[in-house]
Amino acid sequence: MSGYYDPIVAATARHLGSQLATFNRRHFEHIRGLSLVTL
C-alpha cells in the first residue's frame, strides 16, 4: 500500500527526470519511466 504522498513524489521525480531514493521500492517500481535508488 502506497502512502498518500507517494504518487505526488513519483510524478514530480519523473517530470523532472530525477532519480527517486526510497526505502520501499515496492511503492514505486510499477511506475514506468521512474528511476529508483534503493536506500
pLDDT grade for 25, boundaries at 50, 70 and 90: very high
pLDDT(1) > 90: no
**pLDDT value of residue 4:** 92
**Is 2 or 14 the better-scoring residue by pLDDT?**
14
Residue whose cell numbers read 513519483: 10
What is the distance between the alpha carbons of residues 37 and 39, in angstroms, rounded to a whole number? 6
How high is the mean pLDDT of the chain?
A: 95
Higher pLDDT among residues 1 and 15, named by residue? 15
Structural Rg of the chain based on CA atoms? 9
Q: What one-letter code names the amino acid at 27? A: H
Residue 5 banded pLDDT, cuts 50, 70, 90: very high
Contacts of 14 (CB under 8 A, 6+ apart): 31, 33, 34
